[in-house]
Amino acid sequence: MQIDWPSIQTGRADTLHGTTVDISGWMIPLDPQADTVDYFLLSADEPCCGGCVPRNPLTSIEVQMAAPLAPHAQALALRGRLLRLLDDPAGWRYRLVDALPLDRPQAPQRRFSRRAFLASGAALGLTACAPGHFAGYTEARAETAQPAQPVQSAQSEAAPGWQAPTGMLTIDMHSHAGRVIVSRKPAIGANRPFVPLAAPMRAGGMNVICLAIVTDTTVTRVADNRKRFEAWREPEPGELYALGQTEFQRAHQLIAREQMQVATDTASLTKLGPLGPSVIISAEGGDFLEGHVDRVDEAYTQHQLRHLQLTHYRVNELGDIQTEPPVHGGLTDIGVHVVQRCNALGIVVDVAHGTYALVKRAADTSTKPLVLSHSALATHPGARSRLITPDHARVIAGTGGVIGVWPSSGTFRDLHAMAEGVKRMADVVGVEHVGLGTDMLGFISPPVFRSYEQLPDLASALLLAGFSQAEVGAILGGNYRRVFEASVG
C-alpha cells in the first residue's frame, strides 16, 4: 500500500510495522561520493543545499535496499517492508528494509524544481557548487558586508524568540562545515567539492565557527556496522603531516571561496566577528604533529592555528582516546609539551575524545582554561563511548573552561532533548562552562542540529528549557569567547 509522509510524521505508520509499503521521497546518501548505495535516508523534503540532511528526524526514514542503487538526484518511489524502530541508537523511528525501486518515480506533492535539482546535484557531489551554480548561494554572497542576524524560523513562530545581546557573538566550538575534510577515498581526496558555508551561517545568525581539519582521515574508517570510527592501519612516516598540510590548505581555500575572515586573536575576533561569518582555524587531533612539538609553532604561524584538539580516533603520540583501550595511561610527556607550547603561543587546548586520565593530566598541565568541544553527559558511559561523566565534565569546569554539547542523534532525539542535555550539563558544572559544539558534517548518522539555519530553533529550545536570554547568549558563544580570549590573547 502507498503511504504518505504525514503518517510517518504523526506516528500513524506504527500500525504498519512489518508490512510492505510504497513511499516516495528524495534520496540522501550518507556518503555522497559513492557510486552506488544500499543504505540512505529518504526524505519528505527536497534537499535544500549540498550536504544538507532533513532538520527533523521525523521527516525522513532509513532505507536498506535489497540491492545497491545509483544515487538519484530526482525523487524516487520505493517498495519495501516498514519497520518501526524502538530505541534506535541513532534516533530514527522507521526503517524501510529489502527495498526496491518502483519503475515510475513520483515526486511527493511538489514538482522537482530546477533550483532543487542544482542543489541536490551538489549534495550528490555531481557539481562543485561554485559561485553562480547555486542561486540562493550567489544571492547570499552579495550580502557579505551585512552582519549575521538570526532569521525567524517559520517553525518556531509560537516558540519564544531569542535576541542576541548587543556585542555578543555566536560561536560553534567544533565544526567541519563546508565539507573541509578530505575524502577518505584516495581518488577524490583533496578534490572533494566544498558546500556552501557562509550563507547558512548568515541565515541562522552564526557569527563564528571553529573550523576543524582532521589529520587521521587516511588511517581511520567506519567500523561496527557504521556506528563509529576506528584506526585500521599505522600511518607511514610523514603521511599525516602531509595530510595536515593539505587540510590546512583546504580550510584556507574554503575560507577564501566563502569570503570569510579568520580571527587570530581577541582584537580580530571582536572586530571581524560582527561583520560577517568568521572562522577560528582548528585541528581535530594532533596527528599531523607526528610527535614533533615544534610543528605546533609552524601551524600557528603558517596556518593560523588557534584551537588544537589533542586526540581523535587514533591513539596518537599525545595520548589515549575514549574509543580505544588506553595505551599511554592518559596524556603522554609529548602531550604535556604540546599543551605547554599551546599555552605559550596562544592556542586553545581541546581535550575532546581524550580519556578521563588524559583530561586530568592536561588540566594539571595547562595554565589556561581547557575546552572539551563536543560531547554530552552520561552517568555511566559505556566502553568506547564518546560521552563523559559528571566528574569528567567537572575537571574542565575546574580550569575555567567550556564543554560543548554535541547534537548526536544517538544521544538526543531532537533539539528540545538537546536543550535538556545542555540543562543537565549546566546543572552539573554551571552555565558559564557550557557551549555548543555541532561537529557539523562530522557525523555518520545525521545529528539533530545539522544546519546553521537551525540556530534560532535551538535558541528557542534553550529558552523553553529554562535558560534566560543572557544565559543562552553565554551558551551559544559567550563562554567560548571567554576561553579564547584567555588562551589566545
* DSSP-assigned beta bridge partners for residue 460: none
User: CB of 141: closest distance to Zn ion in angstroms?
Assistant: 26
In SS3 terms, 67-81 reads as EEECCCCCCEEEEEE
**Phi/psi of residue 375, nearest 5 degrees:** -170, -170
Q: Please, which residue, 5 or 480, has the CB nearer to Zn ion?
A: 480
Residue found under cell 587540510: 247
User: CB of 176: closest distance to Zn ion in angstroms?
Assistant: 6
Q: Which amino acid is at 122?
A: A
Judged by CB under 5 A, the stretch of 136-144, 153-161, 260-268, 436-444 that binds Zn ion is 436-444
How far is it, in rounded angstroms, from Cα 439 to Cα 27? 23
User: CB of 409: closest distance to Zn ion in angstroms?
Assistant: 15
On whether the CB atoms of residues 25 and 5 are closer than 8 A, the answer is yes
Q: Please, which residue, 442 or 477, has the CB nearer to Zn ion?
A: 442
How far is it, in rounded angstroms, from Cα 6 to Cα 131? 36
Judged by CB under 5 A, the stretch of 9-17, 128-136, 160-168, 284-292 that binds Zn ion is 284-292
Residues 64, 65, 67, 72: is their CA dihedral positive or negative? negative
Residues in binding contact with Zn ion, number by CB under 5 A: 3
User: CB of 20: closest distance to Zn ion in angstroms?
Assistant: 39
DSSP string, 286-301: SGGGTT-THHHHHHHH
User: CB of 33: closest distance to Zn ion in angstroms?
Assistant: 19
Q: Please, which residue, 414 or 439, has the CB nearer to Zn ion?
A: 439
Given candidates 172, 439, 453, 471, which one binds Zn ion under the rule CB under 5 A? Answer: 439
* DSSP-assigned beta bridge partners for residue 63: 40, 96
Judged by CB under 5 A, the stretch of 100-108, 199-207, 250-258, 280-288 that binds Zn ion is 280-288
User: CB of 373: closest distance to Zn ion in angstroms?
Assistant: 8
How far is it, in rounded angstroms, from Cα 278 to Cα 264? 10
Q: Does position 442 bind Zn ion by CB under 5 A?
A: yes
Q: Site mask, Zn ion, residues 312-341, x = CB under 5 A? A: ------------------------------
Judged by CB under 5 A, the stretch of 180-188, 276-284, 342-350, 470-478 that binds Zn ion is 276-284
465: Cβ–Cβ under 8 A, 6 or more apart, which residues?
416, 419, 420, 422, 423
Q: Is 2 left (phi over 0), alpha (psi -120 to 50) or beta?
A: beta
User: CB of 327: closest distance to Zn ion in angstroms?
Assistant: 19
Q: Please, which residue, 352 or 465, has the CB nearer to Zn ion?
A: 352
Q: Please, which residue, 284 or 320, has the CB nearer to Zn ion?
A: 284
Binding region for Zn ion (CB under 5 A):
284, 439, 442
